[in-house]
Amino acid sequence: MERLTPPPVRRIAVDRHPRVVAPTSPADGAGNGAGGVTSGAGGSQILARRRAARPAATYPPEERMQIESVSLAYGERWVVRDVSLPVRRGEVLALIGASGSGKTTLLRSLNRLTEITAGAGRAGQITLDGEEIHEIEVNALRRRVTMVFQQPNPFPMSIFENVAYALREAPGRRRRARRATLEPAVREALRRAGLHEEVADDLDRPALSLSGGQQQRLCIARALAADPEVLLLDEPCSALDPISTAVIEDLIVELRESVAIVIVTHNLQQAQRVADHVAFMHLGELIEYGTAEQVFDQPRQQRTRDYIGGAFG
Amino acid sequence: MATAEPTLTPPRAAIARPRRESTASWPLVDRLAYWLCWAVGIGLCVIAVGIVLFMFIKGISALRPSLFVESPATGALQERHSGGFKDPLIGTFILTAIGIAIALPLGVGIAVWMVEYARPRWLMRTVESAIEMIAGVPSIVLALFGLLLFARPLFSFLSGSANNGAVTGQSFLIAGIMMGVLAIPLVVGATREALLQLPARLREASYALGKTRATTVRRVLLPSIRPGIASGAVLGMGRIIGDTAILVILLPYLKLEGAGGAPLLSALRGTGTTLTYYIYYYAPTGDGNSPKKAFAAGFVLLMIVLALNALVTRLTLRSSGERAAARNIVQRVWAWEMWPWSR
Amino acid sequence: MSAEAYPPAIPPAATPKAAPPNPMEARQRHAAQLATHLKEAARDRRVEFALGTLAAGALALIAAMLVTVLVNAWPSFSTNGLAWFGPGSGANGDPVVQFRAMQTGTALPGHPLLYFRAWPLIWGTLLSTFGAVAIALVVSTFAAIFLAEFAPAPVRRVLEPVVRLLAGVPSVIYGLVGLLLIAPWVDGLISTPRKESVQYVVQLNGSCLLTATLVLTVMIVPTMITLTYGALAAVPPAWREGSVALGVNRWRTIQRVSLRAARPAIVSAMVFSTARAVGEAIMLAMVGGGRPFAPNLLDGLTVFYEPIQPLAASIAKEFGGNPNTPIGHTASAIGAVLLFSVALLSLAAWAVRQPLKRYGIGI
């Protein structure tokens, strides 16, 4: 029998004196963490600088929707209790809170999407421009109050067809409207969503061939194509990388001029970056509502302080 | 003041529980489509219930216990009013047994190769297409092929011989082989689905212990997919039991008749038929023209099919999770079998 | 801090004296292990080869089927040439006459007994199949939408297993039900003047194209409903929710999103049902009228009451059992035509589904 030798071992060279790589400067790195503690003085300074750098609203905020003493239930379980909030065009309203605080349910009730679930019940009043939303026909309401979801969900069609979808389905417009008729509106919506430069060359590409951030912007363009009055965003950036997140956040700040925006987010830094008014909810109740500076820097309630400080989440 | 737990008492104002989106506001075209859906749905209910009820009522009224124990009567005078379907009933069981005995090992083997080995790639793709083609071939062409292939002196051991020495090519064995071919795509489909649904960690754990692929398949994977294989077997049996065309070509004889020789081999090499051909024969267009008998046999056949369906949805398994998994597999493989060209 | 060291040291007396390592033993152990591994690997390769051969057997089966059927069909095809597919003319043009002549004797290629014109059979197959599939497509799509979207939950729970049961019912039972339920009803629909108008050519009764198409539809519909329902239920809810959230009503959502996503499945279901209808021999032999006749569209509405005997049903009815007779060759020729049409259908299905894969819809 031959002498058996073990195979030669490949060794990975290990540096005896590794170089310590310094983290990038705080200006680039801050605000990319998901949830957690507001960093110390350095962090809030950066955020304050970013907030100050935002373009000011040209027109004073104008009230679009009024949520009055709304309680929502699924079956016998109360998910939201007695919440009252205003929604204004020209500003971004952020709903923050831990999981299960009812913020997503509240958001979905704003365009009556909770009705899809059997056994959903509502008490209280929600008005859009003075009209109770239950009086408005549901599809007309959803064209005026559109929603963008957490996971990008572009339809399995081309980019053009995705954005033109809402336009084609609008009443009074011919279903088989020619492409030339719809094209200006589609391009305008893509421009508002900040996607036009990237896809302008070929609008017939499949929508699913875009990257995650582009798909989410496509969904925003699709929601904007119908020219809504209120745009609801349900954690739009939670599935995206930081660069796409930054792009969409800039987009949100730009859009608040023309559309009232309500955004649900569990990322406190994101709320600090984009929000004008913040509503903190816990276990279905509205704990605190105020401007962003007020809620983040001087929270009035202890529970708000606990949440922002990271005691729970 | 925020409380720790939301209470269950309703708030001051009344609760509005809005119902699902009413169609009153839809355009007329959409409303018409909605009503059409409902009309078709109700029509479907009515027709489905109607067919089932018709077969049940007619079948039960024509059923007599003597039918189960008497052989089919031959001879023009007695045929209409006497005789039963004992022979075809036995024939059904024999044929199903042979068919599944062939389809199960072959089907599982092919499926295991397709999922676990599948090399070279071009062979895998062609085999996939071949299985799908077999699933799509009309059973009468399959029967014709069986006859053409086996009615040769080379295969005289599979069937009996006619008076002039020519091999008939008609026997339970040959029909059973063709039934097995019929059932193979279903077994392959079910086993494939079951194997694909197994979590990767099962295989990884086995390979990490140094086991070969063959050992992994035999000791780890196949025992885990027993429900899936069982589902495939039951689906295959359903297809075998329901097929008539193969019998019209290969076993159009009403009574069991051996082919001479050792008892078991004689029966297998011999001829007979199954319930389906019995129904075909005694239908008004068949030579027998005795609708009552046809209905009785049809009822029994329906009961068998029902029992198989119930078996599929309530396989006796160890846990409800496995039952749900088996049901899932059945639905998916059912769809696969019906989509011969889905991949 | 503690007096005892951790882990506790084993008192020296309890340790057995370790044997000095024996290089011979270690080498033998390694060798034995390697031998076992090699044996197992060889066995694994043998198993793979065996299973691969088995899988290739499926290929061999298809090839054998094609070859066998074609070889036996050759006399019929070579005698008739391309006219095999065409209509006959004159006294010999009726397939009834042709079949009757073919039942006995042997025939080499070129023998007049092999004379055959399949057009009435082909025309009957085409009419019944496409009629049944067209009706079944519409009915099953609406029924599946009803089941998936609009049916109340208890109705759906009952109806779905019933539909699946119906899909598993043997075709001979459908034939029986058709003969004893539908055929008498259709017979009542045929008025006497109508019967008289064609009585020199053909006798009209309840077993006709209409009955055949109806029963074929009833046979195909449960399968198509189950497949379409499965496809609709598998549409990602994110798409449906997204569409509803944009203010599109439920029906338009179904039409524009769900049906589009389910299109490959619906196409596959349709192709499979077409293949099944083309290959259906028994049921059509029972309710088709039993006479190979090409329904004449110029007859107006009477065309629905004329009898047919499609290709597969002709094999079932006419073939006696001896493959070497003229009828055997003709039956093989019909079988070859069936095989090729089924293969063509599968190719068509694959081709139709390719464009949609681009947009992310596939099975």
- Tell me, yes or no, if A146 comes closer than 8 A to chain C by beta carbon: yes
Contact A115 B7 (CB under 8 A): no
Q: What is the tally of helices (H) and strands (E) in chain B?
A: 16, 0
Q: Which residues of C touch A153 (CB under 8 A)?
A: 236, 238-239, 241-242
pLDDT in tens, chain C (363 residues): 445 556 666 666 655 666 666 778 888 899 888 888 888 888 888 999 999 999 999 999 999 999 999 999 998 888 888 888 888 777 677 888 888 777 777 767 777 778 888 888 999 999 999 999 999 999 999 999 999 988 888 988 888 888 888 888 899 999 998 888 888 888 888 888 877 777 777 778 888 899 999 999 999 999 899 889 988 988 888 999 999 999 888 898 999 999 998 888 888 888 888 998 999 999 999 998 888 888 888 877 888 888 889 999 999 988 888 888 888 899 999 999 999 998 898 888 778 777 777 777 654
Question: In the 3-class helix/strand/coil scheme, how is A1-22 assigned residue by residue?
Answer: CCCCCCCCCCCCCCCCCCCCCC
Q: Which residues of C touch A206 (CB under 8 A)?
A: 358-360
pLDDT value of position A33: 41
Bridge partners for B83 per DSSP: B72
Q: What is the dihedral of CA A264, A266, A269, A275, to 10 degrees?
A: 20
Stated length of chain A: 313
Domains of chain C: 121-322+339-359 (1.10.3720.10)
Contact B16 A134 (CB under 8 A): yes
Q: Which candidate from C30, C245, C248 shows the least CB-CB separation from A169?
A: C248
Alpha-carbon gap: C147 to the closest alpha carbon of chain B (Å): 7
Contact A252, A92 (CB under 8 A): yes
The mean per-residue pLDDT over the stretch B33-52 comes to 90
Bridge partners for A289 per DSSP: A279
pLDDT beneath 70: ranges in chain A: 1-46, 49-50, 52-53, 55-58, 172-176
ipTM, two decimals, is 0.84
pLDDT value of position C15: 55
Q: Which residues of A touch C238 (CB under 8 A)?
A: 149, 151, 153
- As given in the structure block, the two tokens for residue A50 are 């970013």
Write down the pTM of the prediction.
Answer: 0.81
Local structure of residue A6 (DSSP, 8 states): P
Which tens digit of pLDDT belongs to each residue from A165-202?
988 887 766 666 778 888 888 999 999 888 898 888 88
pLDDT value of position B56: 86
Local structure of residue B225 (DSSP, 8 states): T
**Is residue B68 over pLDDT 80?**
no
Q: Which residues of B touch A303 (CB under 8 A)?
A: 2
Q: Which amino acid is at C325?
A: T
Chains in contact with A via at least 3 Cβ–Cβ pairs below 8 Å: B, C
Which chain B residue has the Cα nearest residue A109? B18
- As given in the structure block, the two tokens for residue A20 are 């310590």
Chains in contact with B via at least 3 Cβ–Cβ pairs below 8 Å: A, C
Q: Which candidate from B3, B8, B16 shows the least CB-CB separation from A76?
A: B8
Contact B4 A69 (CB under 8 A): no
Contact C246 A151 (CB under 8 A): no
Contact C292, C309 (CB under 8 A): yes
Residue A240 zone, left/alpha/beta (φ > 0; ψ -120 to 50; rest)? beta
Contact C175 B283 (CB under 8 A): yes
Phi, psi angle pair for B314, to nearest 5°: -140, 50
User: Which residues 186-205 of chain C have a CB within 8 Å of chain A?
Assistant: none
Q: How far apart are CA A37 and CA C270, in angstroms?
A: 58
C160 CB-near residues (< 8 Å, 6+ apart): C147, C226, C229
B257 CB-near residues (< 8 Å, 6+ apart): B270, B271, B272
Q: How far apart are CA B40 and CA C163, in angstroms?
A: 14
Which tens digit of pLDDT belongs to each residue from B175-214?
999 999 999 999 998 899 889 888 889 899 999 988 888 8
Helix or strand holding residue C51 (H, E): helix C23-80
Which tens digit of pLDDT belongs to each residue from B306-343?
888 887 766 544 445 555 565 566 666 555 454 443 33
- Tell me, yes or no, if B261 comes closer than 8 A to chain C by beta carbon: no
Q: Which candidate from B110, B137, B331 shows the least CB-CB separation from C339?
A: B137
Q: Which residues of A touch B4 (CB under 8 A)?
A: 283
- Tell me, yes or no, if C57 comes closer than 8 A to chain A by beta carbon: no
Distances (CA, A) of B331 to A183, B314, B336, C164, C301: 43, 13, 9, 10, 42
Q: Which candidate from A71, A115, A283 shows the least CB-CB separation from B20?
A: A115
CB atoms within 10 A of CB B314: 11
Contact B283, B294 (CB under 8 A): yes
Local structure of residue B292 (DSSP, 8 states): H
Pairing of strands A77-89, A62-74: antiparallel
C220 CB-near residues (< 8 Å, 6+ apart): C132, C133, C136, C140, C273, C276, C277
- Tell me, yes or no, if B342 comes closer than 8 A to chain C by beta carbon: yes
The mean per-residue pLDDT over the stretch B121-131 comes to 89
CB atoms within 10 A of CB B301: 28
- Tell me, yes or no, if B165 comes closer than 8 A to chain C by beta carbon: no
Contact B248 C316 (CB under 8 A): yes
Q: How far apart are CA C133 and CA A23, in angstroms?
A: 67
Mutation site, B3, B9, B15, B19, interface A, largest A CB count within 10 A: B15
Radius of gyration, alpha carbons of chain A: 23
Q: Which residues of A touch C236 (CB under 8 A)?
A: 153
Report which of B97, B92, B94, B89 is spatially closest to residue B296, judged by C-alpha positions. Answer: B89
- Tell me, yes or no, if B48 comes closer than 8 A to chain C by beta carbon: yes
Which tens digit of pLDDT belongs to each residue from A202-224?
888 888 888 888 999 999 999 99
Q: Which candidate from A79, A123, A283 shows the least CB-CB separation from B14?
A: A123
Mutation site, C59, C176, C280, C341, interface B, largest B CB count within 10 A: C176
Contact B11 A115 (CB under 8 A): no
* Count of pairs with CB atoms under 8 A, one residue in B, one in C: 282
Which chain B residue has the Cα nearest residue A170? B27
3-state secondary structure of B155: helix
Chains in contact with C via at least 3 Cβ–Cβ pairs below 8 Å: A, B
Kindly list the residues of chain B whose beta carbon comes within 8 Å of any beta carbon in chain A: 2-8, 10-21, 25, 27
Q: Which residues of C touch A141 (CB under 8 A)?
A: 247
pLDDT value of position B95: 92
Which chain B residue has the Cα nearest residue C244? B21
Mean pLDDT value across chain B: 80
pLDDT value of position C67: 94
CA A130-A229-C254 angle, 5° bins: 105
Mean pLDDT value across chain A: 82
CA B52-B295-B233 angle, 5° bins: 65
pLDDT value of position B8: 45
Mutation site, A114, A139, A149, interface C, largest C CB count within 10 A: A139
The mean per-residue pLDDT over the stretch B276-280 comes to 90
B185 CB-near residues (< 8 Å, 6+ apart): B107, B131, B132, B134, B135, B337, B340
The mean per-residue pLDDT over the stretch B83-97 comes to 87
Q: Which candidate from A4, A153, A206 shows the least CB-CB separation from C27?
A: A4
